[in-house]
Structure 1
Amino acid sequence: MLQIGCQTYTWEMLGDRWSGGPDDLLDAIASAGYSGIEITDTMIGSYVGKPEAFGRALSTRGLELAAFACASDSGYTEPDRLASDLAMIDRTLDFVAAFPGAVLSLGSATVMSPGDREGKFAAAAELYNAAAELGEKAGVPIAVHPSSHHNTLLFSRADYDRLFALTDPIRLGWVPDTGHILRGGMDILDTLTTYRDRIRYLHLKDVDAAGDWRMLGSGICDTRAVVEIVAASPNFNGWLVLEEESDVAAAGPAKAVQTNRETMRALLA
């Protein structure tokens, strides 16, 4: 069964313009008609290290935790940060393990310092593989979320192919993001089909032909075709997570995610 979740990065991208807290996010997302949430380590706020309290906050609003997303200022590509990054991931797993079925999403490998790209890929793969082992022990699925943002190591299809060749295809999952895939110039349907078995859940957003962010359904993403491929993945957990990064969302996140929820109802009708 398909379930629709909302990603909190829509508010996170506001930076200092956002003065609310996690309860404000939960209220807005529940009011917009979502059944789940993917929250980031930046936006968890007062609930950090308090899974029981967060679980109650979700339950009172009829929400589930679809996924928890965490990143590191190492970009997951600095070998001397491997131990500290894994310690952070292990602590985060303790939180996520309290929500059966929730996925821990690790941010895109990012270039943070000079060095050859092959070395960066090797460092990222070591981190992701080790994290996936920790997740297996904790009973929490681990997935990598490539992005097209500044200095990402995972922009093009060749980058995806390289990382996936270096990582465990069973333990390490993938969170495909329609917007980032399209911004990377890829054939989105072929990319999804090729790595279908790695898919754990899906990020849905839209861009125009120039790669600029657009509200869901207003760009070039063939959402129906994408969902059909993802839904057939043997490891897909059913969550379609809507994430909005357009200028419309920057002007009013709550209204934008509500509009996206309504758009998704029409797209799946």
Structure 2
Amino acid sequence: MSANLPFRFGSEVYTWYMSGNGKTHQGRLGHMIEIIAQAGFTGIQPIFSWMGELRDPQRLANKLKEQGLELAALSLALEWNGAEETEAERAEADEAIELLRHFPGAILCTVQIPTGRHDLENRQRNLVNIVNAVSARATAQGIPCSFHPNSPHTSIIRTEEDYRVVLEGLDTSVTGWTPDVGHIINGGMDPLEKMKEYASLINHMHYKDWDGAPEFALMGQGKVDLLSITQWLKDQNYTGWIVCEDEGKEALEDPDYVTLHDGRWINNELVPALK
């Protein structure tokens, strides 16, 4: 899929999580790994809280090896609404860090679970401090880190001003930034322009498409200029992962189909169009 390119393509598992608020496909990470490999991706980004028995590093390593995949990254999604981590949040983060110690090079991708835009200034400051603290602990264990903003109306990192405050507050010695192109456009910004503005922070990528009806679309069927974005990454010699996190409505009924579609679209449409 990514021959002769500086980057590689992987897949997230949120496409499956969308069904039944995570309940429909609970405990099926092994199946997701098989479908992602069948789609032609070379890496996977699981959600740490949703890994089931494959939260065990040896079981995970065995399953990935069986399907020829790498652990590209791990999503650590927590609410982080206090002035600092709760005891439970810190324990969960440290368990994720411990798992990643078994997979050198895999990224700890921090994501805040949106819970509302109240008390915005204080909560943005607290989020930055917590992400920096978690990332510092991971970096001390040799684990690269990246922060992933999102765009629901209840997110505190949705708008251009939110991005300025949060991205400019990150400790770049311990964490980078994961631009999610669908979330960026959903927050009213141009994805490529925002990526150019904070290019030095980028160390991981998420792709999804968007059509504004009301939000996300099947990859290749929306308004995100994925070709121009991918061409820019190629021209910049970006060497990280591009992870697909398709949230098109089709995923609610058939996430396997969506993942296989994305792999075909990247291989047959996107990559051949690159210069």
Q: TM-score, normalised by structure 2?
A: 0.89
TM-superposed deviation, 1:85: 2.3
Distance 2:95 2:195 in 1: 31
Partner SS state of residue 71, structure 1 = strand
Q: Tell me the residue number matched to 1:263.
A: 265
Whether the 8 Å contact between 2:106 and 2:144 is mirrored in structure 1 is: yes
Query: 2:15 aligned with 1:13, yes or no?
Result: no
Deviations 1:83-117 (A, max 9, x none): 542332122111012111110111136346x8521
For 2:235 and 2:165, the matched residues in 1 are separated by: 24
In the alignment, structure 1 residue 69 sits paired with structure 2 residue 69 = no
- Runs of 5+ in structure 2 lacking a partner? 1-5
44, 54, 65: which one aligns with 2:60: 54
**C-alpha RMSD of matched pairs (Å):** 1.9
Aligned residue among 190, 193, 196 for 1:190: 193
Return closer, same or farther for 1:110/1:251 CA change in 2, 3 Å cut-off.
Answer: closer
What secondary structure sits across from 1:149 in the alignment?
coil
Alignment partner, residue 3 of structure 2: none
Counterpart contact for 1:3–1:35, Cα < 8 Å: yes
Contact 2:15 2:251 in 1 (8 A): yes
- Please list, as runs of the form range in 1=range in 2, the aligned pairs for 1:1-269 lying within 5 A after superposition: 1-15=6-20, 16-18=23-25, 21-48=28-55, 50-72=56-78, 75-79=79-83, 81-108=85-112, 110-111=114-115, 116-231=119-234, 236-265=238-267, 266-269=269-272
Q: CA deviation at 1:129?
A: 0.9
Q: Deviations over 1:120-171 (max 9, x none)?
A: 0111011011112112101111111111124110001110100122221232
- Cα deviations by residue, 1:171-211 (Å, 9 ceiling, x for unpaired): 22111111100100002111000111111111111011445
Aligned letter for 1:90? D
Q: Is the 8 A contact 1:77 1:120 kept in 2?
A: yes
Q: Which has the higher contact order (CA 8 A, sep 6+)?
A: 2
The code of the aligned residue for 2:253 comes to A
**CA–CA distance in structure 1, aligned partners of residues 32 and 153 of structure 2:** 26
Alignment-mate amino acid for residue 228 of structure 1 = Q
1:18-64: CA deviation from partner (whole Å, max 9, x where unpaired): 2552211111111222111010023311122x212211110111000
Q: Check the 8 A contact 1:103/1:140 in 2, yes or no.
A: yes
Structure 1 residues 186 and 115, CA, compared in 2 at 3 Å: closer, same or farther?
A: closer
- Number of aligned residue pairs: 264
Alignment TM-score, normalising by the size of structure 1: 0.91
Is 1:77–1:109's contact at 8 Å kept on the other side of the alignment? no
Q: CA deviation at 1:224?
A: 1.6
Aligned identity (percent) is 28
Mark the CA change 1:238 to 1:21 in structure 2 (over 3 Å): closer, same or farther.
same
**Cα 1:18–1:222, aligned 2, differ >3 Å: closer, same or farther?**
same
Secondary structure class of the residue paired with 1:88: helix
